[in-house]
Amino acid sequence: MATFVQGPVRVTVPATSANLGPGFDSLGLALSLRDELSAEVVESGLEVEVTGEGADDVPRDESHLVVRAMRAAFAAMAAEPPGLRLTCHNVIPHSRGLGSSSAAIVAGVSLARALVAGGQLLLDDAALLRLAADLEGHPDNVAPALLGGFVISGREAGEWYAVKAGVDPRVAAVAFVPATPVETKKARELLPAVVPHADAAANAGRTALLVAALAGRPEHLLAATRDYLHQDFREPAMPESLALVRALRADGIPAVVSGAGPTVLAFCDGVDDSLTGRCPEGWAVHRLTVSVDGALLG
C-alpha cells in the first residue's frame, strides 16, 4: 500500500515553444514564463483552486488537466490517495501556442510522483517522460517542460525519446501573444496530408541548421527558422500572426509561429529591447529568456 508525504508539495513548470519554424513536432524550447502549482493529499474529496490565466474557463473537477495527469501518475505507481487539494497559479497563456497543456500535464505527473513516498523509484524520469508524452500525444512540448532548455524529441520503435541540445546564452526571445486563442486541433486540420519532396528536404536542412544556430551560431537564426511545412498552411486560422511573422522576417528578425499558434516568437540578442515596440495593438508582449530548468519541485 502506498504511503503519501505529509503537507503540500510545490512545482513550477515553464512555458514552451515547439516547432520553432522548421522543427515541426520535433523541436521545443523552454521559456521563462512559469506556472506555479501545489498539491497535497487530504482525507477525502477533490479541491481545485485556480488563479491567473484561464481561471474563468478551466474546470474544477476530475476533468481538470492537472488532475487527470495526477490520476494517471498515481495509477502508474499503484497509489490511490483518499483525497486531493490542488492549487494552480497560471502564468502561461492558454491556447496560444506556448505549451499550457503540456505544462499542466508535466505539473500533474511531477506533483503526483512527489506526493508518493519513494515515488522516484516507482516512476523514474524516463517513465515520467513517457507518461507525459502519452497523455499529450506528442513529446515536443512536454519534453522541454520536463527537462528545460532546448530539446529534440520524437518517437522511434514505439518509444518516445528526448535529447537536450545546447543553447547559446546570447539567445533570448520575445513572445507576441494575441488576445484570441486558436485550438491546436483546428490548426492541425489545416495541414496537408502530403508535401512536395523539395519542401521536405528544405525543412530538413533548416532544422539541422537551427540546432547549430541555437547552440552557438545565432547569426544563422533567420535562415534556420524558415519553414516550408506548416506555418503558411495555418494562415487562415491566424492571419494577423502570419502577417507579423512576415513583417519581422522582412526586417531580418528570426520570427516564427510558436507551436500551433497564434503566438509569434521572435529570437533576439539577450540585450536587445527594441522588439517590444513591434507588438500589435491589443496583443500582449513578453520579454523572455530560455529556461535552462524544466519542472522544479520545492
CATH number at residue 279: 3.30.70.890
Q: Say if residues 253 and 277 touch (Cβ distance below 8 Å).
A: no
Q: Is the pLDDT higher at 269 or at 223?
A: 223
Average pLDDT of the segment spanning 242-251: 98
Same domain, 146 and 30: yes
Q: Any binding-site annotation on 236?
A: no
Q: Which residue, 166, 199, 220, sits at the end of a domain?
A: 166
Q: Any binding-site annotation on 230?
A: no
Q: Any binding-site annotation on 81?
A: no
Q: Any binding-site annotation on 103?
A: yes
**Does residue 296 lie within any of the structural domains?**
no
pLDDT at residue 262 above 90? yes
Same domain, 201 and 85: no
For 11, phi and psi rounded to 5 degrees?
Answer: -145, 145
Same domain, 261 and 130: no
Q: Any binding-site annotation on 97?
A: yes
Rounded Cα–Cα distance for residues 229 and 231 (Å): 7
pLDDT in tens, 115-132: 999 999 999 999 999 999
The residue written with cell numbers 521545443 in the block is 28
Q: Say if residues 222 and 22 touch (Cβ distance below 8 Å).
A: no
Helices in 20-141 by DSSP H: which ranges? Answer: 65-76, 100-115, 119-122, 125-136
Q: Any binding-site annotation on 294?
A: no
Nearest alpha carbon to residue 19 among 284, 170, 230: 230
Radius of gyration of the CA atoms of the chain, in A: 19
Q: Any binding-site annotation on 26?
A: no
Q: Any binding-site annotation on 44?
A: no
pLDDT at residue 20 above 90? yes
Q: What is the pLDDT of residue 182?
A: 87
Q: Any binding-site annotation on 100?
A: yes
Q: Any binding-site annotation on 96?
A: yes
pLDDT at residue 294 above 80? yes
pLDDT at residue 272 above 80? no
The model's pTM is 0.95
